[in-house]
Amino acid sequence: MIKGRPCTESHVIMTEMVLPPDTNHHGTVFGGRVLQWIDIAGAISARRHSKSKVVTASIDDMHFLIPIGLGDTVVIRASVNYTHRTSMEVGVRIEREPPTCDSREHAATAYLTFVAIDDEGRPMDIPPVRPETDEEKRRYRDAETRRTFRLQRRRLLKERRG
């Protein structure tokens, strides 16, 4: 039996400044740039938990809540919420901090699934996550529900591909 790891071992905090190449003609950050930052933070979190190579299996429930503008600082927080045998869900929260640095606002949320792989690229078993706080336990339960829906969507997509 693999020993569980606490959620805190997978915590990641990244900070980015929105520069002109990151923005569209509205002066707000490209959604794709935010997704890139989310994927990187999520991968680091998953790697910290699994102590192995990881690949992104899915990104879902991505919600942009407020625009992020040129000159804003973006704080990206990621943590493993849930694990299965070879996969794990990582929750990522994006916060916008204006140049005045006087406040932070929740700007986006995403949930990603990563799969741990061995040197041959095959899925490998990972340790379970061990939620400790009430918030971590809530995120774990919510992630179980999302996993059920994710697997249902995957089955439907495979059937339609036929």
Every domain of the chain and the residues it spans:
5-161
- Alpha-carbon span 23 to 36, nearest angstrom: 14
Per-residue pLDDT band at 60 (split at 50, 70, 90) = confident
Terminal Cα distance for the chain, rounded: 38
Taking residues 7-18, what's their average pLDDT? 97
Per-residue pLDDT band at 44 (split at 50, 70, 90) = very high
- Alpha-carbon span 84 to 104, nearest angstrom: 33
- Shortest CA distance to 49 belongs to which of 121, 119, 109, 131? 131
Is the model's pLDDT at 39 over the cut of 80? yes
Percent of the chain with pLDDT over 90: 84
Per-residue pLDDT band at 161 (split at 50, 70, 90) = confident
Taking residues 10-27, what's their average pLDDT? 97
Q: What is the pTM for the complete model shown?
A: 0.91
User: Per CATH, which fold does 5-161 belong to?
Assistant: Thiol Ester Dehydrase; Chain A (3.10.129)
- Shortest CA distance to 87 belongs to which of 50, 136, 32? 50
Per-residue pLDDT band at 128 (split at 50, 70, 90) = very high
Mean pLDDT in the chain? 94
Per-residue pLDDT band at 2 (split at 50, 70, 90) = low
Q: What is the pLDDT of residue 90?
A: 98
Q: What is the pLDDT of residue 158?
A: 86
